Structure formats: structure tokens, C-alpha cells
Amino acid sequence: MQYVSTRAAASAAASSSQQFSDILLGGLAVDGGLFLPTAYPQVTGAELDAWRQLSYADLAFEILKKFATDIPEADLRALTAKTYTKEVYKNARKGEKASQITPLRVLEEGENGTRLVLQALSNGPTLAFKDMAMQLLGNLFEYTLAKQNAQLNIFGATSGDTGSAAEYAMRGKQGIRVFMLSPHKKMSAFQTAQMFSLQDPNIFNIAIEGVFDDAQDMVKAVSNDLPFKAKQKIGTVNSINWARVVAQVVYYFRGYLSATTSNDQKVSFTVPSGNFGNICAGHIARMMGLPIDKLVAATNENDVLDEFFRTGVYRVRKSSETYHTSSPSMDISKASNFERFIYDLVGRDGDRTRALFQKVETHGGFDLSGKPGADGDEFKLVAKYGFKSGKSTHDDRLNTIRDVADDYGIVIDTHTADGIKVARENLEPGVTMIVLETALAAKFNETILDALGEDAERPEGFENIEDLPQKFVVMPPDVEKMKAYIATNTGL
């Protein structure tokens, strides 16, 4: 399996292709594009039938081996077996089986043949779906670095979910250190405790005196110093990482196969979306031949994606136009994985994709509506890929959390509430609608308290997390000081 950049010129595509292990530790391609396979591997009906009975770990192996053809199969099987265990995904609710890793729960079977189902993706160590991919990434990184006798220093900024998922995936891993910046005193007490209570010597929590953007700017400034970056072996684990996307493909298969008894049955997915990483994995599963009917992107007030799927216009937002909402992990100004879908939509034309995303830089977006003056007319092909969308606001979120508690007796988090709200608008007779649950309510307790007047239940072991001793340093937003701190602690 070979990979190409979404911006590769047609003439260069074949010669510049790389294998899975080559792109595992990197981010963007050198031309600024994102990596995708030269062709999506296909699954047959017979494979799907055989896979219906597999454990999550075995299913992950079957799917990953189609993408990571340069990793010996026995090694890959050991890696997936180690990653997807009921000990790691132990935070299942009552009535869910932890051993299923992403258990399904039927919320409602309508008289008109509609069916609404929740797929729990947030039973891992940090109570958010990012664990699904990040836990595998931790094991893949450790395996690959050991083979190359290399080391990697992960450097990033977080306002919550991504940083903690990365730290819990990389803690105690050989050859890996994590330097994670966060805005000092700006995260919730729960999120702060989750990260700062880690005592592992390879985890470095750095609270920056400033807001998230200051922390983000520090990461950019340090990463722009290429000699420093090379010497200190600095890498990232952001959402455009290809292995993260691939790991997420697995739970679409698991969801479809668990919800059906034959491959003629129809299933759609509604996905709470921000950077388009999660739903991009659904698109890839569908391109591989998984019979997904619709892929519905649910956004919050930051509706860049909903706007595109309604109008064909992709218009990124300025930071002054980006809202801080009660589903904060979806507060994005642009969707960093969207380029992968656009590449497919424009017929896998790298020159065209490059031109469109250069226009995003120079003009803030592009228009594929086909109207006079537009940049293209490919919006008319979107339906062929199954995509639909919808939007949810703070009031919708509160109402949905209440409705779901009243009607089905479970408490959902704010991002999942955006998903349920939009899913309900897209139910169809004869089609199972699976909503991906992207976090557990305990992580966003403030809004749960507003909606229900009581605290969200915390999984076992999280009761007194705020009281645990915390390990972190506080630093001013000073690039030179940051570099010195990194160098001291890597010893490079």
C-alpha cells in the first residue's frame, strides 16, 4: 500500500509515494498536502460476513493490515491485541459490555421503522473518542521507534481533549517524551487534573501564562526553527496524522457489523464534527465498500462544515468569528482534515486540490457550488458520497441532554448531544442511525449541571481526581525559554 499527498502533481504522484511506516511519525507532506492511499483497499461481502463475529482487536487487525502492509502481520496483530482490551476501555456504562470496546445501545425504535442507536467511543482512559486512535498510535510509535533505534519528542498545545489523550497514550513508552503546553488556569478542574496528575517521567506538562492561542503560537515558533526541531527530534500527533484516521475507520465497521445481521441492511452515521477527522474515517470506510447509507456531519455554532454541505461554499472563519461553545472540542475555524475529502470529490486531482487550498490561504475559502464565478461545480457530487449535515446550538444541547435523560435514562455529553439533535432530523424508515458518542458527560459537567440540575456521574476511579498530586511547570510565553526547557529535558 502506497501513500500520496493530496497536493501531488499527477506526474509526481507515483514517484513520491511512501509506505505506512514512512508517514507514521510525520505530519503534512512536504508540499503541504495530506497523505492518502493511492487507492482505497476494498472489502468483499464475504469478508464482512466473516468479520461480524470478530473481537474489536481482531477486526482492527484485519482492517489495519490492508493499510499497513509494511508491518509484519504477527507484529500488527500483537499491537492491536495490546491496544483494544477491556482493561483499557473499562469506563463502560452500566448495561454496556466493556469487552465490546465500542458497545452499541439502542435508544429508540420508531413505529415507522426508524432506529436510533448510540455507539460508545469514549470508554478509554481519558473519556473521549480520541483515545480510540491515540492508544494505537502510542503502541505503533513505540514499536517503530524501537525498530529504528530512534526517539521522538512530541510537542503540542492543547485546550483539553487532544493533549490528555496523547499523554495517556504515550505515558511510560520507550523512546517517547511528551511536552504539552496548555493555557495556565484556563482548562476545567477535571481536565487539568487528568493531565497534571500524571507522574510519569516522560510526560512534561507546561502551563503557559496566557490563552490557548499563546500556547499554540509557541508551538509554531519552536517548530519553525527547523535545525532545533531536527536536533531535538520533535514531532506532533495532531488530527491530520494518517494513522489516527485509519484507526478510526475500524469503529465504523464495528458499528455497522454489530447493528446488522446481513450486508443488505442500511446504516447511517451521525458524527459530532470539528476538524473532520472522525467523519473522514467514515468516508474512507464507505469508500472501502462498507455499505454506509448516509454520513451526517453535526456541527455546533462553528458551522463551517454545515455551511459547505448545505451550499458548496467552504469559508474558513477568522479567530474573531470563532465561538467558544459548550461543546468546545468542536470549536474550529477550519477543518484540518477536510482536504482529504475534497481530493476525492475533485476526482483525486492533486493540482486542483492544491489550487483550492491555496485559495483558502489567500481568499479564506472556495466555492464549488457551480454558480457563476464559483471555483467548480463538484458540490453536485456530494450526495453520491452520502454526506449530509446539520447544526446545533447551546439551547439545542441543553434540551437534548434533558430529553435523552428523560426518554432513555442516560446522561450524554455536550458533543454527543449535538450529534443526537442532528441525527433526529435525519432519521429514515428502514435505516439504523448510529450516533457516535465522542465523550462522556463527566468531562463537561458544568453544562450537565445547567441542563439537569445535578452532576454527571463519574466512572469508577475518577471520583477524587482533582485531589491527586499534580506535576507541571508554569512558564511565560517565551520561545527561547521554551527551547531551553526542551533541550534540558531531552538531553539532546
Q: What residue ranges bind ligand PLP (CB under 6 A)?
A: 128, 130, 161, 239, 272-278, 329-330, 415, 438-439
Pick between residue 88 and residue 439 the one whose CB is nearest to ligand PLP: 439
Closest by Cα among 260, 221, 311, 204 to 434: 260
Within 10 angstroms of residue 340's Cβ, the number of other Cβ atoms is 24
**What are the distances in angstroms from CA 289 to CA 224, 286, 434, 483?**
40, 5, 18, 47
Residue 438 CB, shortest distance to ligand PLP, in Å, is: 3
Residue spans of alpha helices (H) in 290-429: 304-311, 338-345, 350-363, 394-408, 414-424
Q: Are 442 and 190 in contact (CB under 8 A)?
A: yes
Q: What does the chain come to in residues?
A: 492
Residue 1 CB, shortest distance to ligand PLP, in Å, is: 23
Please give the grid coordinates belonging to residue 213: 492561542
Reply yes or no on whether 130 is catalytic.
yes
Pick between residue 221 and residue 360 the one whose CB is nearest to ligand PLP: 360
As a whole number of angstroms, the distance between CA 355 and CA 318 comes to 21
Residue 252 CB, shortest distance to ligand PLP, in Å, is: 13
Active-site residue (options: 130, 334, 388, 443): 130
**What are the distances in angstroms from CA 137 to CA 33, 87, 144, 153, 308?**
21, 17, 10, 14, 31
Based on DSSP, count helices (H) and strands (E) in the chain, helices before strands. Answer: 19, 15
**What are the distances in angstroms from CA 236 to CA 11, 106, 125, 147, 254?**
30, 37, 20, 19, 28
Pick between residue 17 and residue 329 the one whose CB is nearest to ligand PLP: 329
Pick between residue 156 and residue 272 the one whose CB is nearest to ligand PLP: 272
* Residue with cell string 430529553: 403
- Cα three-residue angle 278-408-447, rounded to 5 degrees: 60
Residue 235 CB, shortest distance to ligand PLP, in Å, is: 20
As a whole number of angstroms, the distance between CA 204 and CA 177 comes to 8
* Residue with cell string 424508515: 429
* Residue with cell string 510537542: 155
Distance of CA 320 to the CA centre of its chain: 24
Pick between residue 244 and residue 254 the one whose CB is nearest to ligand PLP: 244
Residue 335 CB, shortest distance to ligand PLP, in Å, is: 7
Pick between residue 145 and residue 247 the one whose CB is nearest to ligand PLP: 247
Residue 254 CB, shortest distance to ligand PLP, in Å, is: 17
As a whole number of angstroms, the distance between CA 265 and CA 430 comes to 8
DSSP string for 400-463? HHHHHHHHHS----HHHHHHHHHHHTT--TTEEEEEEE-B-GGGGHHHHHHHHSSPPPPPTT-T
Looking at residue 371, what DSSP letter applies? S
Pick between residue 8 and residue 279 the one whose CB is nearest to ligand PLP: 279
Pick between residue 245 and residue 288 the one whose CB is nearest to ligand PLP: 245
Pick between residue 83 and residue 275 the one whose CB is nearest to ligand PLP: 275
Residue 211 CB, shortest distance to ligand PLP, in Å, is: 19
**What are the distances in angstroms from CA 356 to CA 63, 104, 314, 342?**
31, 39, 10, 9
Residue 416 CB, shortest distance to ligand PLP, in Å, is: 8
Residue 275 CB, shortest distance to ligand PLP, in Å, is: 3
The residues that are catalytic are 130
